[in-house]
C-alpha cells in the first residue's frame, strides 16, 4: 500500500530537484569563499524564517487530517529546536542582540516563508506534504554542505554548526509520517498531485530566491 505514496514522493522530489547553478551561495561557503558578513546575513535572515515557518506548520497541523497533522506537528517541533541551534550560529557569526533587533530583512529571502504562510492559509494541507518533502530534500543537502564548509574553512565548532547538522541529518520518522499522510490522501482521494507539484515548484523557486538574495548588499 505504501509503495504508491513513496513513489509519488520520490517522483516529485526528483522532478523538482534544483539545478546546481540555481544556488551560488552554498558553493562559496563550501569552498571558504563566502565573506563573514554573508554568513552573518544568513543567520539574520534565518532568525526571521524559522519562527514564521513554525507558526505556519502549526496552522497547517490545525487544519489537517490526523495523518497530515502528525507530519506538520513534527515540523513545528523541529523549528523550535532549530531556533535554539540558530542562536549559536548567529553568535559565531558575530551577530549581536542589537543588530538582530534592528536588522531589516531582505524581501527576496523572506519570500519563502511568506509563501509557506500562504500555503498554511490557502492550500489543502495534504497537498503541502509532498511539496515540502521535495523542498526539504534540497534544503538538507545545502545544510550538509554549509556545515562542512564552516568546519573546514571558518573554524566553526560543532555547537555553531548544529543548526545545519540538524537539517542535514536523516529524519526517518518524518519520512514515515510524510508517506503515511500522502497514502491517506491517495486512499481518500483528497490529494491533488498537480497542486502538490505546483506548490513544490514554487517552494523551490522561492528557495532559490533566498540564496540569490543573500549575495545582495544588506
For 145-170, the pLDDT digits (tens) are: 999 999 999 999 999 999 999 999 99
Rounded distance, CA 69 to CA 111, Å?
A: 24
User: 159: which DSSP letter?
Assistant: H
Judge whether 206 and 115 are in contact, CB under 8 Å: yes
Give the model confidence (pLDDT) of 92-105 as tens digits: 999 999 999 999 99
Nearest to 161 by CA among 212, 85, 214: 85
Q: What's the whole-number average pLDDT of the chain?
A: 95
pTM (two decimals): 0.95
Give the model confidence (pLDDT) of 44-65 as tens digits: 999 999 999 999 999 999 999 9
Rounded distance, CA 132 to CA 206, Å?
A: 12
Alpha helix (H) residue ranges in 94-124: 97-102, 107-122
Q: No. of H helices and E strands in the chain?
A: 10, 0
Q: Where are the domains of the chain?
A: 27-214
Quote the pLDDT of residue 3: 60
Chain centroid, CA 190 distance in Å: 25
In words, the CATH class of domain 27-214 is: mainly alpha
Judge whether 89 and 40 are in contact, CB under 8 Å: no
Amino acid at each position: 500500500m505504501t509503495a504508491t505514496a513513496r513513489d509519488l514522493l520520490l517522483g516529485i522530489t526528483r522532478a523538482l530537484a534544483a539545478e546546481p547553478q540555481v544556488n551560488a551561495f552554498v558553493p562559496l561557503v563550501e569552498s571558504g569563499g563566502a565573506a563573514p558578513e554573508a554568513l552573518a546575513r544568513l543567520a539574520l535572515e534565518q532568525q526571521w524564517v524559522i519562527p514564521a515557518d513554525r507558526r505556519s506548520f502549526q496552522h497547517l497541523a490545525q487544519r489537517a487530517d490526523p495523518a497530515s497533522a502528525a507530519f506538520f506537528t513534527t515540523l513545528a517541533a523541529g523549528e523550535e529546536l532549530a531556533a535554539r541551534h540558530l542562536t549559536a550560529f548567529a553568535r559565531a557569526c558575530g551577530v549581536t542582540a542589537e543588530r538582530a533587533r534592528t536588522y531589516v530583512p531582505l524581501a527576496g529571502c523572506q519570500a519563502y516563508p511568506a509563501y509557506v504562510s500562504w500555503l498554511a492559509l490557502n492550500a489543502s494541507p495534504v497537498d503541502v506534504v509532498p511539496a515540502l518533502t521535495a523542498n526539504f530534500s534540497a534544503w538538507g543537502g545545502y545544510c550538509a554542505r554549509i556545515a562542512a564548509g564552516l568546519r573546514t574553512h571558518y573554524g566553526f565548532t560543532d555547537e555553531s554548526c548544529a543548526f545545519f547538522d540538524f537539517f542535514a541529518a536523516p529524519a526517518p520518522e518524518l519520512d514515515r509520517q510524510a508517506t503515511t499522510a500522502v497514502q491517506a490522501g491517495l486512499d481518500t482521494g483528497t490529494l491533488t498531485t498537480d497542486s502538490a507539484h505546483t506548490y513544490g515548484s514554487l517552494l523551490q523557486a522561492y528557495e532559490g530566491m533566498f540564496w540569490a538574495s543573500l549575495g545582495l548588499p544588506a
